[in-house]
Amino acid sequence: MSDINIRKQGKTGRITFTRPKALNALSYKMCLAIEEALDTWAEDSDVEMIVIDAEGDRAFCAGGDIGELYETGTKGDFAYGQKFWADEYRMNAKLFEFPKPVAAFMHGFTMGGGVGVGGHASHRVVGDSSQISMPECGIGLVPDVGGSYILANAPGQTGVYLGLTAGRMDAADAIHAGFADYYIPEANWPALIAQLEETGDYAMIDAAAQVPSESSLAKNQTQIDTHFSGAALGDILTSLKHDDSEFAVKTLKTMSRNSPLSMACTVVLIQRNRAFDNIRPALQQEYRFTYRAAEHTDFIEGIRAAIIDKDRTPKWRHSLEELPSVAVTQMLMPLGDAQLTFEKGE
């Protein structure tokens, strides 16, 4: 497949995204190809570890390729998106649970679907160009592909803050928030990857790691914890509105651009996912939203405004002041027979 290069190299299984002009956006076929490789390499004694990277200098993977989701959704075909997300989430779970070391080298933009690949590796490497985020609330979705699970395990209320603001993390922030493990200058990556291919020794990643600069998220931890500890979106907004600090004013402005329904559901998702000790129930919670997304949320409008027309002026279904709590409840209710089961062909 021209969009992804999957092969065995030395003692490693190698996955390289090869869509640099599209910022290595993750397509449906790419998801299936990754899953097939995982299934094969889990039982292959020649593969001692997996190494994932990407071509180009701008992005590891800037998210999912959502053009077809928009096209089918506008035509009333919701089944395509439901199957896409079910299959993608199954791949995310297999990556998280893979029985051998997985190293991901996440340069440049790593967003959404890219986090669903690199963010679930056992050895997550970032460098000076790394910009990691879960921007889904800005397009009427919620942090998914298991991203809400990582957010739920971030220190203090950092996960809620990142989910609602879609904030970008540099290397230091990503390590602080639990989206990455190692800072290694990107000039050192090619030689390190070559060593991994030759030896299969993941301990070389630890040996190559350096101390990153101080995290700006860590510097703002007190304010983040103060304002984002509320039980619901309304509590968070009230707290921010009663603070005239630069942090609060800037944060409110950022959140005002995002879908109110998505943000309210994100708060609930993260709170629920703190109770889980593995990724699968978190993915099932996310799927409750995404299964309904094309039909009942701001997702189609968010894609129109950000990707299709690019006018950056989405018309959300609700305002921040008039979001009924029942709308959140309805989006996150159990799906009954449609629940995500992680079985192929569901």
pLDDT for position 67: 84
How many Å apart are CA 229 and CA 157, to the nearest integer?
A: 6
pLDDT for position 346: 61
- Residue 5's DSSP bridge partners are 16
What's the predicted TM-score (pTM) here?
0.97
How many Å apart are CA 255 and CA 249, to the nearest integer?
A: 10
- Give yes or no for a contact between 267 and 160, defined as CB atoms under 8 angstroms apart: yes
In angstroms, the first-to-last Cα distance of the chain is 24
- Give yes or no for a contact between 136 and 112, defined as CB atoms under 8 angstroms apart: yes
pLDDT for position 224: 98
pLDDT for position 277: 94
Residue with tokens 């002041």: 321
Residue 237 lies in a domain: yes
How many Å apart are CA 271 and CA 274, to the nearest integer?
A: 6
Domain count, the chain: 1
**Cβ-based neighbours of 250, under 8 Å, separated by 6 or more:** none
Residue 343 lies in a domain: no
Give the pair of three-digit tokens for residue 155. Answer: 């220190």
Residue 346 lies in a domain: no
Residue 159 to residues 269, 289, 324: CA-CA distances in angstroms?
A: 11, 18, 24
**What CATH number does residue 60 fall under?**
3.90.226.10
Give the pair of three-digit tokens for residue 310. Answer: 């690019």
Residue 345 lies in a domain: no
Which strands make up the sheet holding 59-61, listed edge to edge?
A: 59-61, 109-111, 131-133
Residue 163 lies in a domain: yes
Per-residue pLDDT of the chain (346 residues; tens, 9 = 90+): 589 999 999 999 999 999 999 999 999 999 999 999 999 999 999 999 999 999 999 999 999 888 889 999 999 999 999 999 999 999 999 999 999 999 999 999 999 999 999 999 999 999 999 999 999 999 999 999 999 999 999 999 999 999 999 999 999 999 999 999 999 999 999 999 999 999 999 999 999 999 999 999 999 999 999 999 999 999 999 999 999 999 999 999 999 999 999 999 999 999 999 999 999 999 999 999 999 999 999 999 999 999 899 999 999 999 999 999 999 999 999 999 999 999 987 6
Residue 147 lies in a domain: yes
- Give yes or no for a contact between 34 and 25, defined as CB atoms under 8 angstroms apart: no
The range of the structural domain enclosing residue 178 comes to 4-338
CA neighbor of 279 nearest in space, from 134, 103, 143: 143
Residue 323 lies in a domain: yes
Residue 113 lies in a domain: yes
- Give yes or no for a contact between 114 and 92, defined as CB atoms under 8 angstroms apart: no
